[in-house]
Amino acid sequence: MTIAPSVKGWCPGAYRPMMSGDGLVVRVRPRLARLGRDQVLGLCAVAQEFGNGFLDLTNRANLQIRGVREEDHEAVLEALNTLGLLDADPALEGRRNILMTPFWRAGNLSQDLASELMSRLGELPELPAKFGFAIDTAPVPLLRNDPADIRLERLADGQILLLADGAGTGRVVEQEAAIDAVIELARWFAASTRTGVRRMHRLLDLIDLPSANLGTAPAPVAAHPDPGPLADGYFLGAPFGQMDAAALTQLMTDTGATALRVTPWRMFWLEGATPVPTTDFITTAGDHLLHANACAGAPGCSSASVSTRDLARLLAPNVAGSLHVSGCSKGCAHSRPAALTLVGRDGRFDLVRNGHAWDEPDQKGLSPEQLLSGTQ
């Protein structure tokens, strides 16, 4: 039997943080997926002073500070405002769910489209909190497998494609009309959706998209780069999506990076960085932690009865394929099947092969010692 996870209907933001087992989770949404050097250093300082000392990189390319006390929330907002990381209008912050192709260059198409969409957020209808947009208009699409409901991509001949998530084909649009078309499609979703249907692909399982939005096949999605040096900087992975703020501060200094670009792949690009050795981040394609997922677990999350990340680090080198260690059956860290999933329950682990955290386990009640010794 498979039990679908319960999903909260809203996304925490800076103004509207979520309470977790270790305090508030304050989410920062970097505009254009980019933070300048001073913003990175300032955010690291905020995480160290008011949070648990880490920045979490989410699968929507946002950054989270966990462990913030309620009485410190105001001070965190002030610090974010000083860093230029706070929207003037809390309502618009909630709508700014824009996934951005991370390798855009100043003045190019992607920056222009994302800037126009940000300036026109007020024209969008009321949408579910997790409803989002992808500006994926680099020469090849990179974000097709990442969460968004309305996408702008490029075709091989350079034309712009409007694509509703879940539709097999899309519609070619001119640059001048692209954001108009995005808003029009969002309005269609808002007017057409059903109770409890919050995502475009779910709606398209129930009803047909207007035919005007169909007809042109998208380009194949490209693989993102592996960790390592890039032509203009350094591309690194964050183990489990977690960046130690002190280590990141040191890395910014050691590499001379001028900015940080966030991605939804638990990786980040340090612009203008000179690569240096580091043990705090993933620097090579073969690192086992690239295929390991683990949520905060105990004590960070009140739903967990087990700690997760230490076990995942120890197990990852011995697991063929992907590994998911989840503090409970909600499976927050990985919504797709993994070759091996361990699910905390009453201080022990249930084991699922080739499935989700919420699937029926193949084995139950295993201790960390059993898992590490391979005697399960």
- The Cβ-side half-sphere exposure at 119, using a 13 Å CA radius, reads 8
Alpha helices in the chain (DSSP H): 37-50, 73-82, 90-95, 109-119, 175-192, 200-206, 245-255, 309-315, 368-373
Least distance (Å) from ligand SF4 to the CB of residue 305? 8
Q: Which of 332, 338, 340, 351 binds ligand SF4 (CB under 6 A)?
A: 332
- At position 169, the amino acid (one-letter code) is T
CB of 306 to ligand SF4, least distance (A): 8
Distance CA 164, CA 186 (A): 9
Cα–Cα distance list, 134 to 149, 349, 371 (Å) = 8, 37, 39
| Identified binder of ligand SF4 from the candidate list 11, 152, 243, 301, rule CB under 6 A | 301
**Taking CB under 6 A as the rule, does residue 25 contact ligand SF4?**
no
Q: Which of 327, 355, 361, 368 contacts ligand SF4 by CB under 6 A?
A: 327
Q: How far apart are CB 340 and ligand SF4 at their closest, in Å?
A: 16
Residues 6+ apart with CB under 8 A from 218: 141, 144, 153, 155, 161, 163, 169, 170
Task: Tell me the residue type at 337.
Answer: P
Binding-site member from 48, 249, 303, 335 for ligand SF4 (CB under 6 A): 303
Residue nearest to ligand SF4 as judged by C-beta position:
327
Residue with Cβ nearer ligand SF4 (170 or 331): 331
Which span (38-46, 137-145, 169-177, 321-329) binds ligand SF4, by CB under 6 A? 321-329
By the rule CB under 6 A, 304 interacts with ligand SF4: yes
Nearer to ligand SF4, 267 or 325 (CB): 325
46 binds ligand SF4 (CB under 6 A): no
User: Least distance (Å) from ligand SF4 to the CB of residue 358?
Assistant: 10
CB-nearer residue toward ligand SF4: 289 or 296: 296
Q: Please report how close the Cβ of residue 241 comes to ligand SF4 at its closest, in angstroms.
A: 12
Give how many residues touch ligand SF4 by CB under 6 A.
12
Taking CB under 6 A as the criterion, the residue among 66, 330, 334, 356 binding ligand SF4 is: 330
Cα 369 to chain centroid, rounded: 32
Nearest distance, CB of residue 226 and ligand SF4, angstroms: 27
Q: Of the candidates 128, 331, 361, 368, which one interacts with ligand SF4 according to CB under 6 A?
A: 331
Q: Work out whether 218 is an interface residue with ligand SF4 (CB under 6 A).
A: no
Site string for ligand SF4, 257-296 (x = CB under 6 A): --------------------------------------xx
Q: Give residues with Cβ within 8 angstroms of 81, minimum separation 6.
A: none
DSSP sequence for 8-20: -SS---SSSPEEE
Strands (E), the chain: 18-20, 23-28, 34-36, 54-57, 63-68, 98-100, 133-136, 150-154, 160-164, 171-173, 228-230, 233-237, 242-244, 259-262, 267-271, 292-294, 323-326, 338-345, 348-355, 363-366
The number of residues making up the chain comes to 376
Nearer Cβ to ligand SF4 (44/301): 301
Is the alpha carbon torsion for 222, 228, 233, 239 positive or negative? Answer: positive
Which residues lie near ligand SF4 (CB under 6 A)? 295-297, 301, 303-304, 326-328, 330-332
